[in-house]
Amino acid sequence: MAVNPDRIFDGLLGRISALVMAGGNRAAEAEAVAELDPRPHDRVLVVGFGPGVGLRLLAERLPEGHIAGIDPSAVMLRAATRRNRRAIAAGRMELHRGKADALPFPDADFDGVITVNTIQFWEPLEASVREVARVLRPGGRLVSHTHDWAITRTTGRDVETWARATAEVCLRAGLGSARHWRARAEKGKSVAFTARKPE
């Protein structure tokens, strides 16, 4: 992998990234939340929460629900904790340090999983998707939004090739009905991807 996420999202670079992403990726986070369209009492997991903007949008939409988040970066954990201190204090949100391939949650714990500008970093990808499939309830959905440039730069694949390969990985790992489309964020230069755990 050309980009090492452990370097760019922690330390000084991580603090700068957190500031830039909090503003620049807000539209993509909002679009992903709107696409998942959770019910007020749903349980939703955010993988790679970064500065925590998507978590906050979810907290506004889930007054009776529960939000969990996981991200390997200590810098992002601090930023997201600050941004979401009320929901955390109220016991409506829990944030963890860790990666997609080892999710510290029981089976079938979530109605939905959101990941924005992060799926391209999931390593190993199939083990990570398998974990997402494990923690989703039957019928629950994964929603991913990603800048086109981030997919190309990180995976070395064009977006169509990446989406087809990711759909195949999802199928092997326990998620079906995969589809992708042009997202509105980044003036249409980003891709939305979803897959569902079979009932």
188 vs 198, which CB is nearer to ligand SAM?
A: 188
Note the residues at the interface with ligand SAM (CB under 6 A): 5, 9, 21, 25, 28-29, 47-50, 54, 70-73, 76, 99-100, 116-118, 121-123
With CB atoms as reference, the residue minimizing the distance to ligand SAM is 50
Question: What residues does 141 pair with on adjacent strands?
Answer: 112, 196
Calpha distance 16→24 (Å, rounded) = 12
124 vs 139, which CB is nearer to ligand SAM?
A: 124
Minimum distance, C-beta of residue 5 to ligand SAM, in the bound complex (Å): 4
Minimum distance, C-beta of residue 199 to ligand SAM, in the bound complex (Å): 27
Minimum distance, C-beta of residue 89 to ligand SAM, in the bound complex (Å): 22
Whether the ω angle into residue 124 lies within 30 degrees of 0, i.e. cis, is yes
Cα 80 to chain centroid distance, Å, stands at 14
Minimum distance, C-beta of residue 54 to ligand SAM, in the bound complex (Å): 6
49 vs 162, which CB is nearer to ligand SAM?
A: 49
Minimum distance, C-beta of residue 6 to ligand SAM, in the bound complex (Å): 8
10 vs 138, which CB is nearer to ligand SAM?
A: 10
123 vs 139, which CB is nearer to ligand SAM?
A: 123
